[in-house]
Structure 1
């Protein structure tokens, strides 16, 4: 297949493009930056540029939308900017795809922000969606528009809702990626900021497992919504303890008040992805952290 990846120079995008290329697919990366050193075909300008490239849309077998310009904290700080860059620009792309006649789209949503506080754990795809953050609201809005286009037959979307991604090649310091952030703080002897009392539970999924599910969904030409998580919850305190054990380095904590957009517990039910694609996550959290210790900077797949 010819796979066009919007956000292909991001953390998950780089790993997915490497995985898809290894499987024999042709890759075109679409990114916001004009400075790209990869060996794939490259279109700068992000999804707006892709929307203005009808020939590329017509000849793509699949468009993968992995891009996001915000995280929960920055989206809450600037919800108008979040809507403009992540919702309006996505709608431009969807309209361009509708006009091109190419309806195959894989959208990377969020398996945490979409569901909100959650009323049950683990959370299946049919769980109520009640986002706590502007980031989650925009992600859910894109999903709703995809459902609208699907009902008209204009698009045939696949939606993957990943839990908390981590792995080699993720930014050393960022406001996403607790596993990688805490790991690097441990290695460098720096302090970790903990929002709340450390009992917040998250489902950490290795990037290689996310990419494997994405590739299976792409190759099998499925539609629908699929959770992508490990199915196991880990508190922040337990994550810190695991990283301390593996690195042999203590992590000092700065405890801060809880943030309003952080759900107390998110653990995903992945039965649908297992039954549809035969997909199971292979990398345990302990193994994934050990992989960071062995190879922190390169892609993971």
Structure 2
């Protein structure tokens, strides 16, 4: 095994799914420190200022911490506060830590139109957070990268909360239960496996790739395709009801492989492969 690079990396949201997957990759080459609310190297005390709890020096900050929002007034307020104001506060501290590269994990949902039924305080606050990062870091002259992954999925239990419909289909089809879907295909989504995104992120660090990039799969997935795959993988008889009088919805984002060219890596985990991995996971998800 080769010697580690002497650079230090701080990952915010150290208990997030992205952090849990990318940290082992980065730890092979760098000293990695996690910071967050719990189970991190630095567990944040809400009664103390952020400035007093950050390390004295890190070279790279990967900002994965995020609130996924809700519908109540309190949830909307807290999401904007967490995703925007906390990000702003962090940006103010970068110069003190002598940070040379800031990597902000955003979301492909920033591209949603205001009229989209999927537009939410999460997508709105993520758009705001990107503006804050660009404004603050231009002022501080700190190089940055913004990555916008599409819907991340994998074995981690946290994904069940973020994508309940996907995991409901997996659970029902694995039990041989009939699945009802709207329209001709049951809506579309764009699921990117967490392993693929973590590899992209790792290479962004290694190659010091700067700029703003979308990270999606080449083609969207339909829930009809997903359900069929689970039935086949579990050797259950396919039982799918298409409610064609119901309007199907979903998200289809434009495919752009710029980041994949930059890091010389394209997503490798097919939706069927990802579903198989979930079904074969030793961890009980349900």
- In the alignment, structure 1 residue 217 sits paired with structure 2 residue 204: yes
| Paired residues of 2:226 and 2:272 also in contact (CA < 8 A) | no
SS in 2 for 1:169: coil
- How far apart are 1:6 and its partner, in Å? 0.9
Greater Cα offset, 210-219 or 164-173 = 164-173
1:156 corresponds, among 143, 146, 156, to: 143
Residues 1-60 of structure 1: per-residue CA shift (max 9 Å, x gap) = 322111121222111112222x32222111212xx2xxxx6111289978324761x421
The aligned residue for residue 182 of structure 1 is 169
RMSD of the alignment, in Å?
Answer: 3.5
The aligned residue for residue 64 of structure 1 is 62
The aligned residue for residue 261 of structure 2 is 275
> For the residues of structure 1 that align with 2:172 and 2:46, how far apart are their CA atoms?
34
Query: TM-score under structure 1 normalisation?
Result: 0.77
- How far apart are 1:188 and its partner, in Å? 5.6
SS in 2 for 1:30: strand
Residues 49-106 of structure 1: per-residue CA shift (max 9 Å, x gap) = 78324761x42121111111224x4588832121112211111111111444425211
Say which one has the larger Rg.
2
The aligned residue for residue 4 of structure 2 is none
The aligned residue for residue 43 of structure 1 is 42
- In the alignment, structure 1 residue 97 sits paired with structure 2 residue 61: no
- How far apart are 1:219 and its partner, in Å? 1.4
- In the alignment, structure 1 residue 265 sits paired with structure 2 residue 251: yes
> For the residues of structure 1 that align with 2:206 and 2:48, how far apart are their CA atoms?
25
- In the alignment, structure 1 residue 27 sits paired with structure 2 residue 14: no
The aligned residue for residue 52 of structure 1 is 51
- How far apart are 1:181 and its partner, in Å? 4.4
Unaligned stretches of 5+ in structure 1? 119-128
- The 3 A distance-change label for structure 1 pair 51 and 157 is farther
| Paired residues of 1:75 and 1:135 also in contact (CA < 8 A) | no
The aligned residue for residue 291 of structure 1 is 277
Query: TM-score under structure 2 normalisation?
Result: 0.81
The aligned residue for residue 106 of structure 1 is 103
Larger RCO, structures 1/2 (Cα 8 Å, 6+ apart): 1
| Paired residues of 1:48 and 1:92 also in contact (CA < 8 A) | no
- How far apart are 1:163 and its partner, in Å? 0.7
- How far apart are 1:187 and its partner, in Å? 3.8
| Paired residues of 2:80 and 2:125 also in contact (CA < 8 A) | yes
- How far apart are 1:190 and its partner, in Å? 7.2
Unaligned stretches of 5+ in structure 2? 1-6
Greater Cα offset, 98-107 or 43-52 = 43-52
The aligned residue for residue 85 of structure 1 is 82
1:15 corresponds, among 18, 21, 40, to: 21
The aligned residue for residue 126 of structure 1 is none
The aligned residue for residue 131 of structure 2 is 144
> For the residues of structure 1 that align with 2:152 and 2:47, how far apart are their CA atoms?
26
> For the residues of structure 1 that align with 2:61 and 2:49, how far apart are their CA atoms?
10
Residues 240-272 of structure 1: per-residue CA shift (max 9 Å, x gap) = 2222221234678898xx99xx97332342321
| Paired residues of 1:30 and 1:42 also in contact (CA < 8 A) | yes
Greater Cα offset, 246-255 or 283-292 = 246-255
